[in-house]
Amino acid sequence: MTSKKIAILETPTLVADEIVVLQPSEIDDAERYLKMVADNYDRLTQWIRVPIPPSTVEDRRKAHAADLANGADGTGYWWLIEYDGGLAGTIALHHVERTEKWALVGYWLAEEFTGKGIMTKSLKAVIDWAFSKLELNRVEIQASLNNPSSAAIPERLGIRRESIRRQSELINGTTLDMASYAAFADNWPPKAPARALPPNEIRVDHEILLRHRIESDLDAQWKAVDAGRDYLGEYLPWLDMYPNEGEHTRVYNTRLWERDNFDGSREYVIEYKGKLAGTVGFGIPNRDNGIEIGYWLRQDLQGQGIMTRSVEAIITMLFVEVGMHRVTIRAATSNIPSRGIPERLGFKHEGTLRDGGFVNNEYLDLEIYSMIDHEWLTRSQNA
């Protein structure tokens, strides 16, 4: 029995909307395409491998022809993105595996066309075609963690992050961690996922690791809490739970037991350059798919962006991986550093909860901040 030969499809024109059209790249596009590459070269080479465009028309046509030839066997499909008649960027299906039924998508926009929703619409059009015409089962997108604008595009379409591929790309001598996303034909457009469990560990960047509390953190946390008692105790009512080291040990071990036996609230140790810097965590999700975040940081580490980066990673995890809808943060009105975290991250100020906190036998006004999932996923300038 002979195997059925898979037909090679021509790259079609795809209409994303009335002003966003994906045109198959052709040899006559060489000049304007490579000019766009040259104009955006410095920005692009932060995240992707881009050869320096040739200087002559003839060499540009040769280079373009070589790129077109790479997909002639049906392993690649390449489009130029037209926005209102102008060339805005490019998107392509790479490494098309018709037997295993999967492919990888790559894309970029010229800087002046970012923030218009162009790439989100383009990616949807390409995935629609890949599932309906190529009959693929899986389409992957990979984006550098250093390029949140690129990662926000699949997130806006409801495509879930599968993994982070550590040190998997080397671009211009810089090693990049890549976030991997996957869309599936049997769930396209993606349906809201069941709520996933939070991961045990989150690598924020080369300085910060968020991880579950372990027994060996006991001494380091007690020293941090006790040394910062005056500073932390001004706003954190739970500090009264630890009047001495013995009581801290008891509560600490109780919390470890609760974590191991129940699935509810979650707390991460913030490990900064290998040492305990504070904690960030969240309570039990409510029935309306909302959750509240809380945090504290050692006084000697204030002002270095540690907590902002940590909270940002927690929020992305809650929205993208766990599937939460709403995140809130409460901070005392007079606690300017704590209020600065949600404000820097673009949270909306909802109002003041008068006398909402009780610390050191005194009532405090609390400022309420909130973020909704779709707001977080559209925060990027490269929409």
pLDDT recorded at residue 383: 37
Cα gap 69→93, rounded to integer Å = 14
Which whole number is the average pLDDT over 91-118? 94
The tens digit of pLDDT for each residue in 237-260 reads 777 778 888 888 887 777 765 655
Which whole number is the average pLDDT over 270-297? 91
Q: Domains of the chain, with CATH numbers?
A: 14-187 (3.40.630.30), 201-377 (3.40.630.30)
pLDDT recorded at residue 233: 80
Report residue 195's pLDDT band, with 50, 70 and 90 as the boundaries: low
Proportion of the chain above pLDDT 90, given as a percent: 52
Name the β-bridge partners of 171: 174
pLDDT recorded at residue 225: 85
pTM (2 d.p.): 0.57
Is 62 within 8 Å of 54 (Cβ atoms)?
yes
Going by C-alpha positions, the residue among 141, 101, 124, 143 that lies closest to residue 189 is 124
pLDDT recorded at residue 265: 62
Which of 45-54, 156-165, 171-180, 339-348 ranks highest by mean pLDDT? 339-348
Which whole number is the average pLDDT over 198-209? 90
Which whole number is the average pLDDT over 87-100? 94
Length of the chain: 383
Tokens found for residue 45: 């080479």
The tens digit of pLDDT for each residue in 146-175 reads 888 898 899 889 888 888 788 888 888 888
Which whole number is the average pLDDT over 197-211? 89
pLDDT recorded at residue 308: 96
Is 371 within 8 Å of 346 (Cβ atoms)?
yes
Which whole number is the average pLDDT over 369-380? 82
Tokens found for residue 116: 């218009």
Name all contacts of 36-44 with Cβ < 8 Å and 24+ positions apart. 36/87, 36/89, 36/110, 39/110, 40/108, 40/110, 40/111, 43/111, 44/108
354 in helix, strand or coil? strand
